A and B are shown apart, each in its own frame.
Chain A
Amino acid sequence: MTIDAAREVRVNDFAIKLANVNGTGSASANGLLMQAIFRMGIPVSGKNLFPSNIQGLPTWYEIRVNGDGHTARSLEYDLMVAMNAQTYGEDIGSVRSGGYVLYDDSWPLDAALLRPDVTLLGVPFAKMCLENFAKPRERILMKNIAYAGTIVALLGIDADLVAGLLAETFARNEALRESNQKALRLGYDYAVEHFDCPLPFRVAPMDKTSDHILIDGNTAAALGALYAGATVAGWYPITPATAVMDNFTKLCATYRRRTVEGEDGSISVENDYCIIQAEDEIAAIGIVLGGGWAGARSFTSTSGPGVSLMNELLGLAYYTEIPVVLFNVQRTGPSTGMPTRTQQADILLCAYASHGDTKHILLFPADPKETFEFAVESFDLAEHFQTPVFMLMDLDIGMNDWVVPRLRWDDTRTFDRGPVLTDEDLAGMKEFFRYANANADHVAARTLPGSDSKGAYFIRGSGHDAFGRYTERPDEYQEVVDRLKAKHAAAAAYVPAPVIQRRDGARVGLVTLGSCDLAVREATDLLAERGVAADYLRVRGFPFAPEIREFIESHDHCFVIEQNRDGQLRSLLALEAGVPLTSMTSALFYGGFPLSAGQVVDAVLENLEA
């Protein structure tokens, strides 16, 4: 793109990047800008690229605005908001040719950083805040709102709307409300006075988000657990999954707490939930097993390192057939890896978690809306199949705010609790054996502790026969593990079906999963512009539905696009969907940042040309 072309007016189609120092309060200013654009009815996304640190290190936030709804991460930055002198070089260097840099000109910029193809916009934010605010902490915090004010002017964001959002946020704190409004106005006025506002790329109101919400996946997961009727949770703090349980705790305190009057007229609260912060992830999953065995919908939330620790008891749950729901908000591994970076590298770990022959049910939501829906589904699946179910989210879904359609609930929805025998059922039976008389899905009815003694049995992780009795006999052992394999296969008909989008004459297929969704769908549009018609398939569950194999077999070139080094989805497809490994080409992105369409297009074209 030439500089002139880059400076043509573009409405609702641009990306900005904000460089900050973490722990200085920039996140709320950045979120405010994104929320304002969302409220203007324009499709938008915000990606927080933050360090594993509390204060002082570089952090970035990216906002992409796209009227057509292409809101995957963009790597073409029209405006760089450079608020961190530590990273000026890198930040100024990353703006596209013809783009703009907004910086704090309270101090002069090193001449070596200047670029002839980029317009610098200097605003004395620090000086401004020094003159207008008295408290040292306020001077730091208000600098963020001041730059937000400048951006509001530069992008043509509705200033009254932003002022209204600030008023909402600080409704209960007049002093803070005043300071924020003042800072916003300072930044805004300076921009209007000194620059030609708005810039060539700008926003204009649309009506594309009125039926949408702005929500992160961890909140959506917690809402799903609430709506599924989960009552027992065991967990251990870990980035990026902690907010699942923080949100579940908050929601429960609102929707699961009752006031009860004692016989003496005293008022007390009763909680229809029990959330236990465990001593480690082993205990966390142990608590979930205990809760699931005793008949409560139970779950844990964790990330890769936690799943590693939970492996032992996941095998116990699999072999003894206890319902378990596990939210894995994936981060970058191996080991501690990069805790605040995103990846999809726990696919194989979760598919086969634990020693011995194990196979688990996996669900791959693409965004917070699917996270909510699949979360509810996961509890039904866990009880229907009496087995662990993994919700494979990732940091991008879990911790970033997404614009998604409003979550809805159907009050006629019924819950699948799986086969459980009541005392009445037991009374009509001659004898009860835990693993006998499996149904068409290879699931045998269970009893819950506390039920009639006729239904009492001894659940064990040691070798057992179809009656649940201890065994070391080959045939009896195999009968049970073979049924478990058939049971897993039966789940293919129950997990969410793949999403398929076709184009006329497409001979290329793009197969992906989870949060790659937006980038890969945008890539199919971009590829079409480049003359490559590509069909799209997004895997949403494991075991794999038969359509996935058909899709791969019906394309000359199939790319499996995923965020890990080893092509784990591709391997799993080869192992479990019956398609040869060589019929699929990997396109892998595993540096830890959310995927962008351009990366996918480049990888596909490079391969096709070769």
Chain B
Amino acid sequence: MPSITKPLIPLAPLPTNDLGLTIRDYEGAMSTLCAGCGHDSITAAIVQAFWELSMPPRDIAKLSGIGCSSKTPTYFIRGAHGFNSAHGRMAAIATGAAAANRELTLLGVSGDGDSLSIGIGHLAHAIRRNVKMVYVIENNGVYGLTKGQLSASADIGTRPKKGEANVIAPIDPIMLGLSMGATFLARSFSGDKEQLVPILKAAVAHNGFALIDVISPCVTFNDHEGSTKSYRFVREHEVKEVVTDYVPVREEITATVGGRGSRTVTMHDGSVLTFRATPEGYDPTNRLSVEAYIRDHQRHGEVVTGLLYLDESGSSMHEVNHTPTHALAKIPVDQLCPGSAVLDDLMSDFR
């Protein structure tokens, strides 16, 4: 059961973050996913990233839809407030939660079925509204909980464990995001915590909707020969030319790794992203060149990973709506009610 609590095994004192919390404080219940599931590695990266950010767990709201990926919020940050919602609807519910309380750090966890089929409309519109949240797609190309049907992200030619090979073109969430005007787009691999942790941290700092597509092999239904979402395939075909360092605002920038195509982008909160060793002609702030680069590699069967696109100039949903910096939910209701004098006065408009 997903509510199984982890046994507390006394260990040597663990390092603490700025809040005096150990990494254990950012963990959750024991995972009930299959052994070796890519999603558990993503859970570990999330735990690591939020611990390193010293984010108070109470300020975090973790939301998910339905599916294997959507079970994972129980497995991390037990002190955060969680919402396991309905299939495909997480983006809409997160939008409402964001509207009510912008002081929360929203972390949405979804899957390829949840985000690219039943919930693609909500995802597209959350991107369009630029709701400030981190949105992780744990992308394995299959429906795991219903036992292995291909999803909308399955590549042409992908063969499910049972049945015919896929003949329908996949939906790539990064391409979707580029066309929808997304402001933060990254792709990573569940097996690469080193890459994923800084991307997650940058996503938290981003002033808007941060979409992270994480290829996460399904060991039970989609890790076989013929799958393009298997550990082996991704390891053999991953292109990691876009390399990013995330430096939080409070840390002094001591060194910048220069080199080919190196450039920095200052985030909304003052933290700095350095794109280093990026390939020539690749500009992470230029939609067209990003698209061309990804497409070019896709043609050769390659998967480009990294923080691929960033636009820090956009306005978030709250900025567009001119809401106050504090949570709407915290304004006392009697303060919001205009009272009898206003109503009496208003009545003359209805005479």
- Interface residues of A, Cβ cutoff 8 Å to B: 38-39, 213-215, 219, 223, 226-232, 234, 255-256, 268-276, 278-280, 282-284, 286-298, 312-313, 316, 406-411, 414-415, 417, 447-453, 456-462, 469-472
Contact = CB atoms under 8 A, between A and B. Distances in A.
A276 B129 CA distance: 9
Contacts of A38: 351
Closest CB pairs A-B (n = 9)? A290-B96, A286-B92, A453-B79, A229-B333, A296-B100, A294-B100, A287-B96, A295-B329, A458-B82
A287 B84 contact: no
Given A290-B94, A291-B100, A316-B85, A232 B328 contact: yes
Interface in B95-128: 95-101, 103-104, 121-122, 124-125
Nearest to B325: A270
Contact of A288 (B3, B85, B96, B344): B96
B340 A411 contact: yes
B100 A290 contact: yes
Contacts of A228: 333, 337
Contacts of B35: none
Interface stretch (B41-49, B161-169, B316-324): B316-324
A415 B336 CA distance: 11
Contacts of B94: 290
Contacts of A284: 92
B92 A283 contact: yes
Interface in B328-351: 328-331, 333-340, 342-344, 346-347, 350-351
Contacts of A269: 322
A272 B338 CA distance: 12
A347 to B, nearest CB: 25
Contacts of A411: 339-340
A279 B122 contact: yes
7 contacts: A271-B323, A288-B96, A295-B101, A313-B93, A411-B339, A449-B97, A459-B82
A226 B346 CA distance: 13
B97 A291 contact: yes
Nearest to B332: A229
Nearest to B334: A415
Given A270-B323, A283-B95, A449 B104 contact: yes
A452 B330 CA distance: 15
A5 to B, nearest CB: 36
Contacts of B344: 406, 408-409
A450 B337 contact: no
Most chain-B Cβ atoms within 10 A of its Cβ — which of A227, A294, A461? A294
Most chain-A Cβ atoms within 10 A of its Cβ — which of B97, B104, B327, B340? B97
B225 interface: no
A407 B343 contact: yes
Nearest to B29: A458
A290 B99 contact: yes
Given A256-B336, A283-B122, A289 B84 contact: no
B237 interface: no
Contacts of B343: 223, 227, 407-409
A600 B13 CA distance: 81
A290 B95 contact: yes
Interface of B: 1-3, 56-59, 61, 73-74, 78-86, 89, 91-101, 103-104, 121-122, 124-125, 129, 317-318, 321-324, 327-331, 333-340, 342-344, 346-347, 350-351
Contacts of B2: 470
A175 to B, nearest CB: 24
Most chain-A Cβ atoms within 10 A of its Cβ — which of B83, B104, B125, B342? B83
Contact of A39 (B121, B333, B351): B351
Contacts of A460: 83-84
A456 B82 contact: yes
A293 B63 CA distance: 12
A272 B350 contact: no
Contacts of B327: 294-296, 450
Nearest to A448: B329
B84 A462 contact: yes
Given A272-B328, A273-B328, A297 B347 contact: no
Contacts of B121: 279-280, 283
A9 to B, nearest CB: 29
Contacts of A274: 99-100, 317-318, 321, 323, 328
Contacts of B79: 453, 456
Contacts of A230: 336
Contacts of B58: 450-453, 456
B122 A286 contact: yes
B333 A449 contact: no
B74 A458 contact: yes
Contacts of A219: 350
A219 B343 CA distance: 13
Contact of B57 (A278, A288, A410, A456): A456
Nearest to B84: A460
B249 to A, nearest CB: 19
Contacts of A407: 343, 347
Given A214-B350, A287-B93, A294-B329, A459 B125 contact: no
A219 to B, nearest CB: 8
B86 A461 contact: yes
A251 B317 CA distance: 21
B336 to A, nearest CB: 4
B101 A449 contact: yes
Nearest to B328: A231
Contact of B92 (A256, A282, A293, A462): A282
Contacts of B318: 274
Contacts of B338: 226-227, 255
Nearest to A411: B340
A453 B101 CA distance: 16
